[in-house]
Structure 1
Amino acid sequence: MGACLSTTKISGSNSTTPSNADHRRTATATGKHNEGGSNVKSHTPTEIHRNQKQKQKTQQQNNHKNKRKEKSTSRKGVIPCGKTTDFGYLKDFDSNYSTGKLLGHGQFGYTYVAIDKSNGDRVAVKKIDKNKMILPIAVEDVKREVKILQALSGHENVVQFYNAYEDSSYVYIVMELCEGGELLDRILGKKDSRYSEKDAAIVVRQMLKVAAECHLHGLVHRDMKPENFLFKSKKDDAHLKATDFGLSDFIRPGRKFTDIVGSAYYVAPEVLKRKSGPESDVWSIGVITYILLCGRRPFWDKTEDGIFKEVLKNKPDFKRKPWPNISASAKDLIKKLLVKDPRARFTAAQALSHPWVREDGNASEIPLDISVLSNMRKFVKYSRLKQFALRALASTLDEEEISDLRDQFHAIDIDKNGAISLEEMREALAKDLPWKMKESRVSEILEAIDGNTDGLVNFTEFVAATLHVHQLEEHNSEKWQHLSKAAFEKFDVDKDGYITPEELRMHTGLKGSVDPLLEEADIDKDGKISLLEFRRLLRTASISPRPRSNHHHNNNNNSIQIPSSHGVGARLDVDSLTSTQG
């Protein structure tokens, strides 16, 4: 199998202009022509293949319709934006490559096997028709896809980008040829359509590495599913490669996507609520992990509407076979990947630190976690009281709660002396690519985290600045009650259930009035801080400012267009599904 073009199953936007998703239908390299996640209507492999063939037939019919529309547009004298655009790519494709076998096709073009004339290597070439880039946004989609492939170039689990070319009629994207087939095909080829835990962990680890790398670049894949992962070769130990970045997009920290894109079975709850970010990729990997281990989808219904209701309201089933025979560690990971609140969901880098995923207990290749770097930036903006409270909480945590943060600390502590210096902090923050960090800000962040003012950040100080409070509360509410009370009692010396101004002054070592600190947490204005008020302070310490939209939106358009299994569009009122979800 090689590379080809595929489409996505669901897309919708609040935008008053055509949605990016409507034009983002061309993929990079996928194993074969396939219609995406929601085309699967039954549990059996035979029926899955039958439905895929039906989807391919429907797509061919749609392609004929699109060609008629394009001819009609051409007769009206409209010049496609693609024809008038110089992409700035190389102009000598035919001098460097000869095209061969057709691998697949999509809305905007075709993918072929090609031969590099300089060395005889086989590559995949995506040939995109400029005549079909009618609107400016279609041109921007192609440019963005090339930019994404360039940004991720060199990662062992991403299809490699070699170069981009153009002539008067086409854009050519030259990529690594993957001939091992789709992950979906390997799942279906397994006994009972499921993997052993050991083999599944290898696959999941590779997907998480891709997600973590994307997120470090400020990139969200937005359509992670088995069809979008290829194996380099047919060997059992072949590398898994992420493909199809046609829906992927860059996002600034603190912003959210408001359009709805992806594949129905793998879409995260926050995508349906129109406020999604990098966390949605982790949800999709959680769904894939569930499928790998049991051969079934965690959220299933006969209709897209029903699937979305399942995603929003229900939890995965871990009682049916084979789950009683699957390890507690595997189930623990899946539950942490499929937390409905994205703030409490594991990040990709956190999941790579999970015992079930770690390769032979080795964490040496765990990448920096974008959320850890982001939390360090947030910490400097917190009030003094919030910082003191988080340090107290950090000192109560055991190794189980902070194992992922220890991996992150070791990744930043280059000289392994047990402390992070200014230079090590600067180097770590420089890897947080979405931000443009000034030198003065690095010093400011280190100074805020450095509680004992020795010019270095020790592990406890690091944990205080980077821990995920919502995860602690969501994953084990009983333990959260215990830990937060223990942190509270570090202030409440006389154990009367309240933190008084004098106790606050004793704990912080501050001189003068502590009234400004007290007032922040003292909601009922009784002059002291109760345990409930203290817990509220800890929770709000990890809440970001109100997110800004990453897309212009119009509140009058609350439904999305979803291609049905018969090729007829069905309207779904998303707000009716999410109105009770908070």
Structure 2
Amino acid sequence: MGIIFGNHIKSVEEDPQENCRRLDSTPCYNEFPSTSVNNESRNGPEAAQSQRSAKKKAVADDGPVRRKKRTLGPSAMFEAKYQQQEGLGEGGFGFVFAGYRKADDLDVVIKHIPKDQQILYHEDDTGKQIPMEVAVMMKLAAESERHSAHIDLLDWYDLDQELILVLERPMPAVDLLEYIIDKGGRLKEKEAKIIMRQLLDAAIDLQQKHIFHRHIKVENLLIQTGKDGIRVRVIDFGVSCFTKEGEAYDTFYGTHIPPEWYSREEYEAGPSTVYQVGAVLVDMLQNPSFRADMFYLFKRTKWWLSENCKDFLNACLHKDPDQRLTLEQLRNHLWMR
């Protein structure tokens, strides 16, 4: 689901079925009902008075009686820590809200994911099962340096009917689609190149950590603005997964479908990520309406672009995945200099 940080609310594609192992949900927290019984309401007034006297005597004889500390369930823990505010968007994977952390007023994004969405779970070496999106973001947090491109996961809660993820919310920021629209529907090559450099760095970092985002598009990239210029942030790891070199997938998630999924009925992480990066560049250089079947029309009409930019696009969007450049080769392309 693309998280929306401005006033422009967008829909998200429906989640197709994933052809991989799915595990039943196993909540990480349990909510226990109170086991105390109100005997005073069940017995007569004389019995209640007798019980109160016995309690007082116990305190006098043995000192103060300590009450058992009540354990909060995950829903109560979430509500105690965060304040949820207005909705920011919704789609096939759930609902996204603005919010803040009560302890320090930190702006956050709160993502609700219904359990009926057939959430993917990851099983680690110890047999512990956690949502795949959580597992991926925890790996990123453990292996990344400060100021990395991905959005940080701050908290997560596993409830009976839904997952709640609490995510970092960069401010001020808008998604790349809204940024392009605000710029008049098209970016100049110079600005598109700045964004592309950062996107390639982020994609290479994910690849080195064996993480496959699977859904790179303009709605899933934030443009954070500040005194030091723009900063690209990668969001929405809802259909991401761990991957191995050479591993192929035969069920597609996302928006920009690589041609090999039609011709070979499978796709790999590296070449399909390169294809999606190219689709993002097309959206930056023209009104964001890229579809796989429109690329050939775009190839015939991109006369206004530099020769290096054309070559870069051709290297990303080649029909044959074996003929596309790798992410590292794209980062060293002449257009990137």
TM-score by length of 1: 0.42
Counterpart-to-counterpart distance in 2, 1:147 and 1:317: 38
Letter in 1 for 2:258: A
- Using the aligned pairs only, state the percent identity: 25
Q: 1:218 aligns with which of 210, 216, 226?
A: 210
Q: Which residue of 1 aligns with 2:173?
A: 180
Cα deviation for residue 87 of structure 1 reads: 2.9
Q: 1:125 aligns with which of 110, 126, 134?
A: 110
Letter in 2 for 1:290: V
Say which SS state the counterpart of residue 262 (structure 1) adopts: coil
Counterpart-to-counterpart distance in 2, 1:299 and 1:128: 28
Cα deviation for residue 226 of structure 1 reads: 0.9
Cα deviation for residue 10 of structure 1 reads: 7.3
Does 1:7 pair with 2:40? no
Say which SS state the counterpart of residue 126 (structure 1) adopts: strand
Contact 2:93 2:238 in 1 (8 A): no
Superimposed CA distance per residue, residues 445-468 of structure 1 (whole angstroms, 9 cap, x where no aligned partner) = xxxxxxxxxxxxxxxxxxxxxxxx
Does 1:206 pair with 2:194? no
Cα deviation for residue 325 of structure 1 reads: 3.5
Does 1:143 pair with 2:131? yes
Cα deviation for residue 204 of structure 1 reads: 1.1
Q: 1:275 aligns with which of 238, 254, 266?
A: 266
Say which SS state the counterpart of residue 260 (structure 1) adopts: coil
Cα deviation for residue 144 of structure 1 reads: 0.3
Q: 1:334 aligns with which of 299, 313, 336?
A: 313
Q: 1:171 aligns with which of 145, 149, 163?
A: 163
Structure 1 unmatched ranges of 5 or more:
24-80, 301-306, 359-582
Contact 1:5 1:111 in 2 (8 A): no
Q: Which residue of 1 aligns with 2:48?
A: none
Letter in 2 for 1:140: Y
Q: Which residue of 2 aligns with 1:343?
A: 322
Structure with more helix by fraction: 1
Cα deviation for residue 297 of structure 1 reads: 5.4
Contact 1:181 1:234 in 2 (8 A): no
Contact 1:102 1:112 in 2 (8 A): yes
Q: Which residue of 2 aligns with 1:354?
A: 333
Say which SS state the counterpart of residue 109 (structure 2) adopts: strand
Q: Measured at CA, do residues 108 and 256 of structure 1 come closer, stay the same or move farther in structure 2, by a change above 3 Å?
A: closer
Superimposed CA distance per residue, residues 263-308 of structure 1 (whole angstroms, 9 cap, x where no aligned partner) = 1xx22112233221121011011122123223365656xxxxxx3x
Q: Measured at CA, do residues 88 and 354 of structure 1 come closer, stay the same or move farther in structure 2, by a change above 3 Å?
A: farther
Q: How does 1:472-483 map to 2 (within 5 A)?
A: none
Contact 2:213 2:240 in 1 (8 A): yes
Contact 1:5 1:110 in 2 (8 A): no
Q: Measured at CA, do residues 286 and 157 of structure 1 come closer, stay the same or move farther in structure 2, by a change above 3 Å?
A: same
Counterpart-to-counterpart distance in 2, 1:108 and 1:294: 28
Cα deviation for residue 128 of structure 1 reads: 3.0
Counterpart-to-counterpart distance in 2, 1:98 and 1:343: 49
Contact 2:13 2:92 in 1 (8 A): no
Cα deviation for residue 225 of structure 1 reads: 1.1
Cα deviation for residue 233 of structure 1 reads: 4.6
Cα deviation for residue 114 of structure 1 reads: 2.0
Counterpart-to-counterpart distance in 1, 2:134 and 2:140: 10
Superimposed CA distance per residue, residues 473-508 of structure 1 (whole angstroms, 9 cap, x where no aligned partner) = xxxxxxxxxxxxxxxxxxxxxxxxxxxxxxxxxxxx
Q: How does 1:137-536 map to 2 (within 5 A)?
A: 137-138=118-119, 140=121, 143-153=131-141, 154=144, 156-178=148-170, 179-191=172-184, 193-233=185-225, 237-263=229-255, 266-272=256-262, 273-278=264-269, 279-295=271-287, 299=291, 307=293, 315=296, 317-320=298-301, 323-358=302-337
Cα deviation for residue 167 of structure 1 reads: 4.4
Contact 1:152 1:213 in 2 (8 A): no
Contact 1:287 1:297 in 2 (8 A): no
Q: Which residue of 2 aligns with 1:106?
A: 91
Counterpart-to-counterpart distance in 2, 1:346 and 1:281: 11
Cα deviation for residue 123 of structure 1 reads: 0.8
Contact 1:159 1:243 in 2 (8 A): yes
Contact 2:13 2:91 in 1 (8 A): no
Q: Measured at CA, do residues 345 and 164 of structure 1 come closer, stay the same or move farther in structure 2, by a change above 3 Å?
A: same
Structure 2 unmatched ranges of 5 or more:
31-72, 123-129
Superimposed CA distance per residue, residues 498-522 of structure 1 (whole angstroms, 9 cap, x where no aligned partner) = xxxxxxxxxxxxxxxxxxxxxxxxx
TM-score by length of 2: 0.70
Counterpart-to-counterpart distance in 1, 2:89 and 2:284: 26
Structure with more strand by fraction: 2
Q: Which residue of 2 aligns with 1:36?
A: none
Deviates more, 1:100-109 or 1:328-337: 100-109
Letter in 2 for 1:7: V
Counterpart-to-counterpart distance in 1, 2:189 and 2:100: 39
Cα deviation for residue 175 of structure 1 reads: 0.7
Count of aligned pairs? 274
